[in-house]
Structure 1
Amino acid sequence: MPGAAAGQAGAVQKPGTPAWARKSTLVLLIAVLALAVFGTTTQTWMTVTLDPSQAGQVGAGPEALQVQGSKAATTVTALALVALAGGLAAAIAGRIARWIITAIIVLASAGIVAAAATVLANPLAAAQGSIAEATGVSGSQAEVAVTAFPFLAVAAGCLLAVAALAIPLAGRHWKARTKYDAPGAAGMAAAAAPVDEIDSWDRLSRGDDPT
């Protein structure tokens, strides 16, 4: 009956997926945040004013040294790429794999925040590698001005962790990609397929009556 079929179809259909839980939305958000973190590392995190004598330019006045985030906090670049790969992998992962990916992205986000916060806590120590490369002297004293990009890295890292924690919750609304995620799918497909003699014997061996 048309009415009965419509009722059964309505019972099988799942409620609409919330906007925040859509796979495309969440994966895109994680990718954007990871790329934002990566982008900050290509910018200047610190401006170091060197002593002219240390720079080998006595009497020439102070020299400004620009330190990129990739040099001030080298781990941030790598962790941003790890988070990006994890977000893309979540789009095709199963239920268990999504929990693993969530843990990986959260740990990467924590590493990003910790590395950027370390630079903010002691910018001179973070700049020592670049100062030594420019002057040939390690342990130099200099004036360091921090830009806004380390703060942006911290903010993006925190948001990245929040977005990662939403993956398991949003994954409940995602359609299964494998037979293991949808245990009833195989049974429905078998019921819809025509039954031959071999199928009948197989069902009898499982205790089912094909008639």
Structure 2
Amino acid sequence: MAAELGAERAVRLKRRGTVVMAIVLMALLAFGTTTQTWLTVSLPQDAVQTPDLDVAGSDAATPVTAFALVSLAGAFAVSIAGRIARWVVAIILLVAGVGIAFVSLQVTGDPTAAAAPSIGEAIGISGGAGATVTTTAMPWVAAGAGLLLAAAAVWLIIAGRSWGQTRRYEKNPQGAAPAPGTAHAGEIDSWDRLTHGEDPTR
């Protein structure tokens, strides 16, 4: 029983729809984080009237948005792609996933540099001198989504091997329609037997 459940689970994991859905979910997760606040900036009190500034992921890590959209398009391409095209899409997804993770971790590593453009727009001076920048959980979520997306690209290559394989049928399956001319040949054979005085029904 356990073996049957394991085999059924393995087949389910190799289905095209399952792989496509996983890629879509990871791409949407990465894209969704870019609409949220990645960095919270406390500006000098004498610099602006509103000292607190929230920086969205789309501003702190613009490439993540682009990579997520490319991955989403790749997921839909997988649903109709052939064997060679799947390899191309898998490579694109792998690059996109690694890119999302890399850029997101860069933001966590140097949040001040990531927030510098937004700080410059707020106070009119480039750079983040005098500002205190803290990171939310969103960059880490995006990095995780990127790594899972890269894993899904490898999963696509492995699972894709079983897609599109032609099923083998028996040469004359039960209940199949007779081959053209077969019925006619049988009628001629019965007529010949009848003309020789034999009963064709035997």
- 2:97 paired with 1:109: yes
Q: Distance in 2 between matches of 1:63 and 1:194?
A: 85
Q: Distance in 1 between matches of 2:119 and 2:140?
A: 22
Aligned with 1:171 (options 160, 171, 176): 160
Q: Distance in 2 between matches of 1:168 and 1:193?
A: 40
Secondary structure of the 1:18 match is helix
1:13-70: CA deviations, max 9, x gaps?
A: xx97612111111100100000000000000001000002222x4xxxx711000000
Q: Distance in 1 between matches of 2:13 and 2:82?
A: 19
TM-aligned CA distance change 1:140 to 1:22, over 3 Å: same
Q: Cα distance, 1:173 vs. partner?
A: 2.3
- 2:43 paired with 1:50: yes
Q: Give the aligned residue type for 1:74.
A: T
Q: Distance in 2 between matches of 1:92 and 1:45?
A: 35
Contact 1:41 1:70 (C-alpha < 8 Å) held by counterparts: yes
- 2:76 paired with 1:83: no
Q: Distance in 1 between matches of 2:179 and 2:72?
A: 41
Structure label with greater radius of gyration: 2
Q: Distance in 2 between matches of 1:194 and 1:91?
A: 37
Q: Cα distance, 1:172 vs. partner?
A: 2.2
Match of 1:20 in 2: 13
Secondary structure of the 2:38 match is strand
**Cα-Cα RMSD:** 2.3
Contact 1:76 1:115 (C-alpha < 8 Å) held by counterparts: yes
The aligned length equals 165
Contact 1:95 1:168 (C-alpha < 8 Å) held by counterparts: no
Percent identity of the aligned residues? 48
> What are the ranges of 5 or more consecutive residues in structure 1 without an aligned counterpart?
1-14, 186-191, 196-211
Aligned with 1:32 (options 16, 25, 40): 25
Q: Give the aligned residue type for 1:75.
A: P
Q: Distance in 1 between matches of 2:12 and 2:123?
A: 53
